[in-house]
Amino acid sequence: NGAGKTTTVEIIEGLRKADAGDIYLFGKKVSHIDASIKKSMGVQLQTTAFFGYLTVKETIELFAGLYGVTVDSRKVIEEFSLIDKTRSKVKELSGGQLQRLALAVAVVNDPEIIFLDEPTTGLDPQARRNVWDIVLKLKEKGKTIILTTHYMEEAEKLSDHVYIMDHGKIVASGTVEELVKSLGMESFVEFSTTQSEKALALLEGDFKIKAVTRETLSIPTTNVEQTLHVLFSKSHENGFNVDNVIIRRPNLEDVFLHITGRSLRD
C-alpha cells in the first residue's frame, strides 16, 4: 500500500502528469496521451463513479456511446455475469456486481490494453474469484492487462510477469517462478510452540528461523529431512513442544517480505 502503483498507472492512462521519466505504449515513446491512444485503452479505476439511477444496461450503452462504438449490451451483460441485474439501478448493486460492471465498461471499446487498478479490493472471497475468472477470460482473448494489487495470491494466480514496487521504485521483477527461485530455498518448515522464545534461541544457530506469529515459527530450508531431524532432536533434548508442523513451498508473499522486510499491511 502506498508504493506508487496507482500513481504510475494514472500517469500512463493520461490522468496524471509525470514529474520525470518516459512512457512507452505499443512500442513507441509517448509524450502525450491523446484521444487516439485512449481509444486503444480500457481503464478500471480504483474507485469508479457511476450514475446511480441508470440501469446496468443503460450504463454500458452510455459508455459505449462515449467511445463512439455500438455494442450488444445483452452479450456484454451476460459475459460479466450481470444478466439478472440488467434492469437494476446501479445504486442497488453489491460491491462485487459494481466491480464486474466497472470491468464491463473498461472493455466495452474492445481495447488493446486494459488497466485494472486493484479490481478486487474490499470484495469477499467469492466475488474476488469471480473477478479473477473474468480477468483470465480477457487474458485468453489476447488482451494485454496491467493489473495492480497488494494481494500476493492474486498476482501469483493471474500474472505472467510481476513487478514489485516499494516507495515508488521497482525493487524486483520477473515471472512468479523466477522471483520465487531467487529466494534460493525449496521449502519452509513451519510449526507452532508455546515456548517460542526458547525455541528461537535454541534453533537460531542452526537456521535462519523467524517468528511468523507469537506461537508460530518458520524455517527456510533446502533440506527438509535434515531440518526436521534437527528440529525434533532439539525439541526432545531441550523440552520445548513442536506442534502443527507444515511443510510448504515458497510463494510470492515470501518474496515480497524478503525484499521489503516488512508486513504486507504496513
User: What's the pLDDT tens digit per position in 1-29?
Assistant: 788 999 999 999 999 999 999 999 988 99
What is the Rg, in whole angstroms, of the alpha carbon atoms belonging to the chain? Answer: 23
Instruction: Please indicate, yes or no, whether residues 83 and 9 belong to a single structural domain of this protein.
Output: yes
Instruction: Please indicate, yes or no, whether residues 81 and 191 belong to a single structural domain of this protein.
Output: no
Task: Indicate whether 232 belongs to any domain.
Answer: yes
Instruction: Please indicate, yes or no, whether residues 123 and 28 belong to a single structural domain of this protein.
Output: yes
Task: Indicate whether 163 belongs to any domain.
Answer: no
pLDDT of the residue at 185: 86
Task: Indicate whether 47 belongs to any domain.
Answer: yes
* Domain limits for position 194: 184-249
- With 70 as the cut, is the pLDDT of residue 263 above it? no
Task: Indicate whether 160 belongs to any domain.
Answer: no
> For 15, which DSSP code?
S
Sequence-distant (≥ 6) Cβ neighbours of residue 246 within 8 angstroms: 188, 189, 190, 191
- Report the residue count for the chain: 266
Task: Indicate whether 174 belongs to any domain.
Answer: no
> For 84, which DSSP code?
G
Task: Indicate whether 168 belongs to any domain.
Answer: no
Instruction: Please indicate, yes or no, whether residues 85 and 31 belong to a single structural domain of this protein.
Output: yes
- For residue 200, give the CATH number of its domain: 3.30.70
Question: pLDDT category, 266, cuts 50, 70, 90?
Answer: very low
Going along the chain, which residue ranges are E strands? 23-25, 28-30, 41-44, 113-117, 144-148, 162-166, 169-174, 187-192, 210-211, 216-221, 243-248
Give how many domains the chain has, as a whole number. Answer: 2
Instruction: Please indicate, yes or no, whether residues 140 and 96 belong to a single structural domain of this protein.
Output: yes
Instruction: Please indicate, yes or no, whether residues 198 and 116 belong to a single structural domain of this protein.
Output: no
Average of per-residue pLDDT across 172-191: 94
Identify which has the larger pLDDT, 185 or 144.
Answer: 144
Last residue of a domain, one of 150, 174, 207: 150
41: part of which helix (H) or strand (E)?
strand 41-44
Cα torsion through 225, 227, 231, 233, rounded to 10: 60
- With 70 as the cut, is the pLDDT of residue 39 above it? yes
Residue at grid coordinates 448493486: 93
